[in-house]
Structures are given as structure tokens and as C-alpha cells.
Amino acid sequence: MLPIQTASVKQRVALFLNGFTNTFWVANTLELFERLAYYGAKAVLAVFIADKVGLESEAGFLAGLFNTFLYSLPIVAGVFVDKYGFKRTLMACFAIFCIGYFSIGVAGMGWGIENHVDKKTYLIAALVLTAVGGSLIKPCVVGTVAVTSMPDARALGFSIYYTLVNFGGAIGPILAYYIRTDLGIEFVLMMSSLTSLLLFFGAWLFYREPAESEAREKKTFAKVMSEMVLVFGNVKFMSFLIIFSGFWMMFWQIFYSFPFYVKDVLHYEAFEFLETVDAWTIIVMTIPITALVRKWKPITAMIVGVTIASLSWIIIGAGGSTFAAITGMAVFAIGEATQAPRFYEYVSSIAPKDQVGTFMGFAFMPIAIGSFTAGIIADWLRSSYLQSNPAMMWYTLSGIGLSTTLLLIVYNSIVSKNIDN
């Protein structure tokens, strides 16, 4: 057994060292720092809008609007990748990010923009602009990983990509805390802008367009629109995506409601640290949990994962302490790690065999739907319960999650009972 195990380890090391081109590592390095900028900004965005810009009653909605556009536009953004290539699209992404983050930050700098334009209108324009830039990076980096990995190393390549995304989610908010406390919350957006500027030059100087990208299928806007009609016409698939958006309604509360609860109810000022518990737990637990549930059907893993995530909010509400908040976030991450790797497997299983690629392109839709809805829910939860009965915020979220679980069970028994999962 030992020689076989040793050979396996050697093969894995060989894949890690020789399975990727230099462009693969450049793209993933750019992705790591882009995620630092993104998650740093996202960690404080709702609080920034409420406390610094002064749009307290709409902070969740506006933060949700930003992520709704960011996660719903990648399907269309792929057309620009096809037309202009990975490198130029990446550079455009970072340039837009640079301008966008700066524009958002300006709203809290006290420069008197409200004397020239409505503050809410200005902020929406800045958020949408930034989201457009963010939508461009996903097809670029994921596409680069696909074409710069050897066939045998492709799974490892996506694992590296996913790990770096989570490291960005874990480290970005911590950096945001130190910037916020040392310089001011508006400077978190400015640092994200500066990081994006440096990434623009990094992409320009170090990224090399993969030769393999020329072999990718080229899509036009007309083709994208026809594919959207195809997907929207699949009632079974759309029902699943809408139901599963309930998980993301819960997830986004980590950034839309949780920070206000931590700082205003628990009086723990470093709310960014608690936001990172989810990401750190994901990094540590995803591999062992995936191994543990590998023999489960994907729909079973998703139902169990959503159930665990739903119960995490009860821990936060009933505990009413910083320790309970940390524990609840860790439990939520365990639920996320249980279902996340199986979600895309399930999407591919219910898609028509000759349209898997098309349907996989819409896997971000629950994230977008969940973000938009979560923003509205967050504003309602904060205005209704934050000061009077904060535990009810989390019980309500748990109810949303458990309702999602129930709908998944019904969906599985009625719609997907004949599908071989």
C-alpha cells in the first residue's frame, strides 16, 4: 500500500508543479487580490451606506442591488470575453473596478456631491458601474483556469481557484477592519480602488493571452439571448433555481444584517472579523465534509446543507452573545460546505444532455435572486427587530431557510423523482 500511496502523492505533486502554464498562476494571483478588494469592500458596504452615506433605511437594498447585477451579468459578459479576449477584458474589469470603488467611496467623503446630484441616484450609478466591472472577471478567470490547465490537472486547477476565492473572503474583511479603524470606513473603498488600479497594471504587464482561448466557442448577443429564452422555458430548472435562492437569502445576511447586529447589539466593533468565520470554516471544512458525504445523492446533500445552515441562525438568536454569533457562523459554513460542491453537480444532472454548458451558465442566478431579495429583507429585519427584539431577526431567517428545505424536499419528490442523481 505504501508505494501506491507514495506514487499517488508524487502524481499530485507533479500535477501541481507541471499541470499549469504560467498564465494560470498569474490569473489566480490576480484573482486573489481582486477578491481581497471585493470582500473587503463588501464587508463594510451596507454599514458604509447606512452610517456614512446616510441612507440607513435602504442600505440592505442598495448593497443587494450591487451584488444582484454583479452575479446576473456574467452570462452576457462572456460575449465581451469572446470578442476581445481574456487579457483586454481583465484590464477593462480592473479599470472599471478602480473607477467604481472610488466613486462609491466619494459618496462618504463629504465632498458635497449631494449639492449637485441626488445622493441615492449617484450611489446607485456608482454601484451599478462597479458591478459591471465585477461581472467581467468571472468568465475571464474561470475561462483561463479551464484553458491553462492540463486535462488531468483541471479539477485541481479549479480547486486552487476556489481556495483562493475563499482566502480572499477570509482576509479581505480583516484588512478592511484595520483600514476602517485607522483611516475611516470610506477609505476601505478607496483601498479597493487602489488595489484594482495595481491589478490593471498587473494584468497588462504579466498576463499572457492563452493560445487555447482562440478555440473557445464564440457567442454573440443573439445567441446568448436565445439561450436565455431556452433556460427560462425550462420550468423544472427555473423552479429549482428559484427555490435554491432561499439559501442565498440567508447567506447575504452575513453582510447585510449581521454587521449591524454585531456592532449595535453585541457591541463588538470588529464586525469584519466575525464576517470571516464563514470563509475560514469553508477553507478548513470543505474537503473533509465533501469526503464524508461523497456517497450521498446531490439533492440529499443540498437538503441537509440548507437545513444545517437554517439552524445556525437559531444558535445566534438564542445565544445572544459574541460566542453564539461565532458558533452560528461556523455552523452556517458547515451547511454551506455540505451543499456547495454538490450544487453544480446537480445542475449538470438536470440539464438536457446536449445543453449542459448553457444551463451551467445560469448557475449564478440563485445568487443574484438571493442577493436582491436579501437586501430588501435585511432593511425590514433591521427596522423591525434590531433594537426591539434582535433574536427575531435570526428566527425569521431560520424560517426562510427551513421553508427552502421543505420546498427542496417537495421539489425532489414531485419534479426530480425520475432523475438519476
Longest CA–CA span in the chain (Å) reads 74
Q: What is the spatial distance between Cα 59 and Cα 119, in angstroms, rounded to a whole number? A: 13
Q: What is the spatial distance between Cα 41 and Cα 120, in angstroms, rounded to a whole number? A: 18
Q: Which three cell numbers stand for residue 320?
A: 445572544
pLDDT beneath 70: ranges in the chain: 1-17, 114-115, 155, 212-221, 224, 353-361, 416-421
What rounded mean pLDDT belongs to the chain? Answer: 87
Identify the structural domains of the chain with CATH numbers, from first to last: 1-219 (1.20.1250.20), 223-421 (1.20.1250.20)
Q: Is 20 helix (H, G, I), strand (E, B) or coil?
A: strand
Region for 279 from its dihedrals, namely left if φ exceeds 0, alpha if ψ lies in -120 to 50, beta otherwise: alpha
Burial 365-378 (b: 16+ CB within 10 A, else e): bbbbbbbbbbbbbb
- The partner residues of 20 in beta bridges, in order of sequence, read 149
Confidence (pLDDT) at 421: 44
29-39 tens-digit pLDDT: 999 999 999 99
DSSP state of 216: S
- The partner residues of 149 in beta bridges, in order of sequence, read 20
pTM (predicted TM-score) = 0.87
Counts of helices then strands in the chain (DSSP H, E): 18, 0
- The partner residues of 66 in beta bridges, in order of sequence, read none
Confidence (pLDDT) at 179: 97
Confidence (pLDDT) at 3: 41
The set of residues, in sequence order, having a beta carbon less than 8 Å from that of 58 and lying 6+ positions away, is 49, 120, 379
115-138 tens-digit pLDDT: 688 899 999 999 999 999 888 887
Q: What is the spatial distance between Cα 208 and Cα 22, in angstroms, rounded to a whole number? A: 9
List C-alpha distances in Å: 412 to 79, 227, 238, 267, 347. 34, 25, 14, 43, 13
DSSP state of 48: I
Instruction: Please count the residues of the chain.
Output: 421
Q: What is the spatial distance between Cα 395 and Cα 387, in angstroms, rounded to a whole number? A: 15
Residue pointed to by grid coordinates 490569473: 27
- With the CA atoms of 16, 17, 18 and 21 taken in that order, what torsion angle do they form, in degrees rounded to the nearest 10? 90
The set of residues, in sequence order, having a beta carbon less than 8 Å from that of 264 and lying 6+ positions away, is 386, 387
Q: Which three cell numbers stand for residue 281?
A: 470554516
User: Which residue stretches of 351-389 are H helix?
Assistant: 356-360, 365-385
Q: How many CA atoms lie within 13 A of 337 on its CB side?
A: 25
Q: Is 11 helix (H, G, I), strand (E, B) or coil?
A: helix
Residues 393 and 60 sit within 8 Å (Cβ to Cβ): no
